[in-house]
């Protein structure tokens, strides 16, 4: 799932570019299937974590609560 066609565009975290760990997700796939692909933005050919929409929402909530 490393295709970057318009229908399968990866979107970087709003924190990408601020150093450290960055992730990307694919909203079009999530909308179509309810499964959210997540990958390391620095390893486009690396593994892709596939999580449910509710699990992804939980990850976002956790990340937001962990802000310094």
* pTM for this predicted structure: 0.75
User: Tokens 């997540």 sit at which residue?
Assistant: 38
SS3 42: coil
46-63: pLDDT as tens digits: 999 999 999 999 988 987
* Among candidate residues 19, 32, 27, the one with its CA nearest the CA of residue 57: 27
Q: How far apart (Å, rounded) are the C-alpha atoms in residues 24 and 1?
A: 12
Do 58 and 39 form a contact (C-beta atoms < 8 A)? no
7-32: pLDDT as tens digits: 679 998 766 556 666 889 999 999 99
Choice between 24 and 5, residue whose per-residue pLDDT is larger: 24
């Amino acid at each position: 799932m490393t295709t970057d066609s318009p229908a399968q565009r990866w979107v970087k975290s709003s924190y990408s570019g601020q150093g450290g760990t960055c992730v990307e997700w694919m909203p079009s796939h999530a909308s179509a299937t309810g499964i959210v692909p997540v990958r390391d933005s620095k390893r486009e050919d690396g593994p892709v974590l596939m999580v449910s929409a509710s699990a992804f929402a939980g990850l976002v909530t956790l990340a937001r609560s962990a802000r310094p």
